[in-house]
């Protein structure tokens, strides 16, 4: 039986500051996420960030937490369940880069079950060192730890998928539906930002995001919808330049250009999380409305929509 492991970033176990602290420690200690010199960054992380940020971030997580838990984890589990139904004969599991279940633990479980062919799908349509790159590093570390095993499974990582047809078509359909109820609206496609430093390969990442934007704009025109479509980048952390334009700056500027209605989507996110439910739904909505905007509508990510299974099945066929 082949195996499929889907991997997302992870979430605190709960909004409690101690759980948020553990998550932030593991996440922000990753040099692929924060590439500052270790001798400079680690004292700042442990002496300042991990003392001040857990309570503040915990309050934000509390606002978006559900009865089932973290939205990101809830939707990732549901995505796993969708795939298990859509892929009979496959052992489908999920893992998180920085929280449980870990990538190594799930690969161990596959190996212990005798699975010899494992596909690994990072749940990031666009490749970046801080997302898919970190996953690949953990996979390599696991392979090194099992180098003396008599039988080792074959691991295949499914690459970026910025223009996968079902992925593009689903976003175009949802955007067209939202635009039908918004007069003279523009579309903003918000992607997670990355630092504008070569170690983060920002130009390759931007090119993949722009490929998604171009494909969605083309799919909208094919559906008879012709409106401005912008790419923006969100979730800046720390000092230094990040990819521009920033989503929140765009939201503040659009009303001054005469835009009163905006439809926002997040093709870089396959599940709702704190970045969509708080940063966009609250902070960016407020920025748009305070600047004079009138209609703000966000198209949710794919989450547990059945199209997710079609997308992944196609990616497996072509991997």
| Known binding-site positions for Fe(2+) | 192, 275
C-alpha 189/C-alpha 283 separation (Å) is: 16
DSSP secondary-structure letter at 276? I
Q: Exposure of 141 by Cβ count < 10 A (0-12 exposed, 13-18 middle, 19+ buried)? A: exposed
6's enclosing H/E stretch is strand 3-8
Contacts of 231 (CB under 8 A, 6+ apart): 189, 191, 209, 210, 213
135 close to 7: Cβ distance less than 8 angstroms:
yes
Tell me the CA end-to-end span of the chain in Å, nearest whole number: 17
Annotated binding site: 192, 275
- What's the token pair of residue 108? 């161990």
Q: How far apart are CA 206 and CA 211, in angstroms?
A: 8
């Amino acid at each position: 039986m082949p195996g499929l492991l889907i991997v997302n970033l992870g979430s605190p176990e709960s909004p409690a500051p101690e759980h948020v602290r553990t998550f932030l420690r593991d996440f922000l200690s990753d040099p692929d996420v924060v590439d500052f010199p270790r001798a400079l960054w680690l004292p700042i992380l442990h002496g300042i960030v991990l003392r001040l940020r857990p309570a503040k971030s915990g309050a934000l997580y509390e606002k978006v937490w559900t009865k089932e838990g973290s939205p990101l984890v809830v939707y990732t589990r549901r995505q796993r369940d969708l795939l298990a139904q859509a892929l009979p004969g496959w052992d489908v599991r999920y893992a998180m880069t920085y929280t449980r279940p870990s990538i190594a633990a799930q690969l161990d479980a596959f190996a212990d079950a005798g699975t010899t062919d494992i596909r690994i799908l990072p749940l990031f349509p666009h490749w970046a060192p801080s997302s898919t790159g970190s996953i690949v590093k953990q996979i390599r570390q696991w392979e090194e730890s099992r180098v003396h095993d008599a039988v080792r499974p074959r691991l295949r990582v499914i690459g970026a998928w910025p223009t996968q047809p079902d992925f593009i078509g689903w976003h175009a359909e949802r955007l067209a539906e939202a635009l039908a109820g918004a007069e003279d609206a523009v579309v903003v496609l918000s992607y997670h930002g990355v630092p504008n430093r070569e170690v983060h390969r920002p130009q390759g990442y931007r090119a993949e995001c722009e490929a998604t934007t171009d494909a969605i704009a083309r799919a909208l025109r094919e559906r008879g919808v012709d409106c401005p479509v912008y790419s923006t980048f969100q979730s800046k952390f720390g000092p230094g330049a990040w990819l521009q334009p920033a989503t929140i700056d765009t939201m503040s500027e659009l009303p001054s250009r005469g835009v009163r209605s905006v439809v926002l989507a997040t093709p870089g996110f396959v599940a709702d999380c704190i970045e969509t439910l708080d940063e966009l739904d609250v902070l960016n909505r407020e920025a748009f409305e305070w600047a004079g905007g009138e209609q703000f509508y966000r198209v949710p990510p794919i989450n547990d929509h059945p199209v997710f299974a079609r997308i992944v099945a196609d990616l497996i066929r072509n991997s």
